[in-house]
Each structure stands twice: as structure tokens, then as C-alpha cells.
Amino acid sequence: MATIQRRGDAYRVWWRLGGSSAGAAQSCTFRGPTPEDALEVAELAHELLKARNHDMTRPELYAAILGEDTGASSATPTVKQWVDTWLAELGNRADLDPESIRRYRRDLMLRVVPWMGHLRVSDVTPDTIKQWVGWVSAQRATKGSRNKVLTDRTISAQTVRNIFDTLHHCLGAAVPRWIAVNPAARPAGARRNPAGLPKVEKHDAIYLTHEERELILAHCRPLVRSMMLAALATGMRIGELIALRVEDVHLHGAGGVVKVRRTLKSGPRRGGRRFGPPKSAAGRRDITVGVTGSRVLREQVAGKRPADHVFTAPQGGICDPSTLRNNYWRQAIAAAQRCAEHPPPEPPKPSKGVRRHLRVDEVSTCACESRLHRTPRFHDLRHSHASDLIGAGWSAKKIQVRLGHSNYLLTMNTYGHLFNTGDEGELHAVDTLLLPDRPVTAARREPARSVHRRTARRRVAAR
């Protein structure tokens, strides 16, 4: 319901778009020569809102009351209404992963609708998109899967781009039903999108050396140690390791095969974690394992039923990836970064209670070779496995299939710089083929142009 509120000598009309509690809040303030005149205009606006079931935006009400109606039809949905329609249409498609639809809904409802949900789809312009990009880039990131807690850092550039892609697809689906062109699309002939998207800083992969692996393994708890060895032996992602079941592991002799058929799905979880097929068909693959990998897997599957998970939490149940990274992996990395001879300063002792433990950022700063100097992620174990395959002479195509990359280009863009591009001896062999090392004959050939001219003169004389 719309309400009229007095603000000094002016009157404000307040309502929610569409008349529902979920609609975006709207308000218009009217002034006049006298407070009575302002009240009369506000009451007129109030009656117009009721006649249109409160389905008018703030600019539309101002335009209609002030006599500047542009003729925009109220039948055009707002961004909020179109988002609901688009998500409902996606839900009817059997070829889409429900988890992807949930991610689209989360991005749009959390980062798009609060800023532009009240606008008509036809009112969204490239300038609107650019202003929205600036707003969403300044939003603070959250942590926690259930109770979202704001952090001190803003959301990453990659997250902004992911949300922009979702909005781009959503507005693109409104063409040509409600709009002629997609305001989030790159204009024809332009080299880049004018929306001002933030630049993504590429994360440099860390390829662990043998010494670094031994340092980390020495400080790992049993769960992370087993998963780390399995990741180094197979190159599997953390979600694939968590979803791995005993029935997917086939060991024989000193080797075996691991069948990747499911992975852990992110997003809201109700009634336990949800597993599903890999994102692409290439992710469904068979991975051969050697002596080290088969030994680790044989220890993990011993005494378990076929439907049980290979890697479980210390107290039982399914592993949580956030807990695994924060409470196990990062703790092991921090312990490996502390030098026994040059430890970091102890935390100050409080007036009451016990001294707290060292944080993961409290490490040694010495140059001793006995400690870890880099901070790898768990995903860097996958990169390290790929570098091992390249060092062993595997082709890029075989590596693509083993890692489950969707295309060959992804493999080459990620690991192409690790392949041998030719040493000095190989380049000399190429030069030999291009310019054979043989003596130059003394006979001198005439230029081709001179031969052609002489031939022409002979033909003219013969005539």
C-alpha cells in the first residue's frame, strides 16, 4: 500500500513496486506554492498508484504527475520481475545443472536486484550497467556458508565478472521481447566492453619441488597427508577427491585406475552436501595411478563399503572443503614456513587465560633452506602433477584427457610454457635444414629478370 508522509512543507508518497513486500521501495516528494497544493498533488499521485496496482517506478510516477509522460508502457517488466521470469524459464530446461541456476539466482538477487531491480528493463542503458559495475565492485565480500559475515575486503574482480556474465545472459534473453539490444553487450566494432569491468590479476601457479613437498608432508595431519599424496598422484581437484567413493577405485598389483564420475557441488546445502556429475563431459574420466597413488588409496579404502567415501572427515562424515583448507592445509603450510632456528615472535600473553596459538600469517622471515618460502594453494598440487607429467615426456593431449580439461587450448594456455620449446642444439639442427652447410659453387646465375629480357629479345628478332 502507498502512504503519504509529510516532510516540512512537502509531501512524500512511499510505496513498494508491485504492491508486494518483496517489491523495491519507491518514493516521490512533491512541493507546491503552499503545503495544501503539495498535498493535493501527492493525493493525486496516490490515487494513480492505486489505479495501476502500485506497478509504477519512481521516474514513471514523476513523469505522469508532472505531465512529462513518455508513453512508456507499464507492461514492460522491471529488472526484478524479469529476473524472476528468466530464472523460472531456466528451471524448465533439462539441460541445465540446478546448481548453476541456484548460482544465477544468488548473484542476481544479492548483487543486481538491490541496485537496479526497480528499473524497467527498457530503462537499463550502458551507462546504467557501468554505474552498476562501479557499485558492485565496491561491495564487501562475505564469509561463511550459512551466516554470511561481511569481511574487510571487497569482492574479487573475477566475482564481479562472473556476476556481470549472469546479468548479460539475463538481459540478453529479454531481446527482442522487451528491448531491442542488450545494454550489457559489447557494441559492434568495439574492442572491449565499455562497462568498465575490473581487470583480473592472474594467479601464478606454484609448481612444488621435491623438497617443498617433503616439507609440507612433514607438517600435515593424516587426512591432509593422504589427500595431498592422492592429488599429487592423480591431479584430481579437491571436489573430486571429496566425492570419490570406494567403488570408483580399482586397484590391481602395483597400480590401478580411479574413475571420476562425480564431484562436490558448491552452493546452499540442505540435508547434507550435494554431489553431481562433473561440470563438463571431459571431467568424466579414468585416471591411472602408479605405486605411490595405489598405496595411499589402498590404505584409505581398507575396511570400507563400496558406497563409502574414500576420504572422510576425522570425526567421520563428508569433508568440508573450507574446513579442509582453513583448519588443515593452511595450518600445515604455516608450520612448514616456520624455521626452528628463527621462529616467529610468540603472541603476547594476556592478563587472563592462556596464550593464543600462532596465526597462519605468523611465520618466519629468514632465508634458511630448512623452511618453506612460498604459500601454495591446495589446487597447486594439481599444477604440480601436471608439471610432473610434462617432465616425464607426456604430450599435451594426454595431459588434457588426464586432467579433465574441456579443450586442448585450456591445457596449453595453462601449462604451455612448461613444455620444452627447443634448446640450442635443436635450433642448430633446424638451421642446418633451412641453410645446408655446403660449399657455394663458383658459377653465377643470372637474375631471373635478365633471363626474361633476353628471351623476349630473341622472340622479337625471330619475328
Residue pLDDT tens, the chain, 463 long:
789 998 888 899 988 887 777 677 788 888 888 888 888 888 888 888 888 888 888 888 888 877 654 444 557 888 999 999 999 999 888 877 777 888 899 999 989 998 898 888 988 999 999 999 999 999 988 776 555 667 788 999 999 999 999 999 999 999 888 888 999 998 888 888 888 899 988 788 999 999 999 999 999 999 899 999 999 999 999 999 999 999 999 998 888 999 999 999 865 444 446 788 888 899 999 999 999 999 999 999 999 999 999 999 888 888 989 889 999 999 999 999 999 999 999 999 888 888 899 999 999 999 999 999 999 999 999 999 999 999 999 999 999 999 999 999 989 989 988 887 666 666 677 666 665 555 544 445 444 444 455 555 555 455 5
pTM reported for the whole predicted model: 0.69
The span from the CA of 35 to the CA of 452, in Å, is 101
The span from the CA of 238 to the CA of 232, in Å, is 11
Residue 159: φ, ψ to 5°: -65, -40
Domains of the chain, CATH where assigned: 3-65 (no CATH), 79-172 (1.10.150.130), 206-344+360-435 (1.10.443.10)
∠150-357-332 over CA atoms, to 5°?
85
Q: What is the SS3 assignment for 253?
A: coil
The alpha carbon of 116 is separated from its chain's Cα centroid by a whole number of angstroms, namely 23
Interhelix angle for 157-172 vs 126-137, to 10°? 150
**Residue whose C-alpha cell reads 513518455 in the numeric block:** 70
E strand or H helix at 259, and its extent?
A: strand 255-260
Which pLDDT value is given to residue 455? Answer: 55
Which pLDDT value is given to residue 387? Answer: 94
Which pLDDT value is given to residue 423? Answer: 66
The span from the CA of 356 to the CA of 406, in Å, is 46
Contact 119, 167 (CB under 8 A): no
Contact 113, 156 (CB under 8 A): no
For residues 162-190, one letter each, b for 16 or more C-beta atoms within 10 angstroms of the residue's C-beta and e for the rest, the string is ebbebbbebbeebeeebbeebbbbeeeee
Residue 16, classified by CB atoms within 10 Å of its CB into exposed (0-12), middle (13-18) or buried (19+), is: middle
∠308-289-247 over CA atoms, to 5°?
20
Contact 298, 251 (CB under 8 A): yes
The span from the CA of 131 to the CA of 120, in Å, is 16
Which pLDDT value is given to residue 436? Answer: 55
**Residue whose C-alpha cell reads 544465477 in the numeric block:** 104
∠38-43-48 over CA atoms, to 5°?
125
The alpha carbon of 432 is separated from its chain's Cα centroid by a whole number of angstroms, namely 48
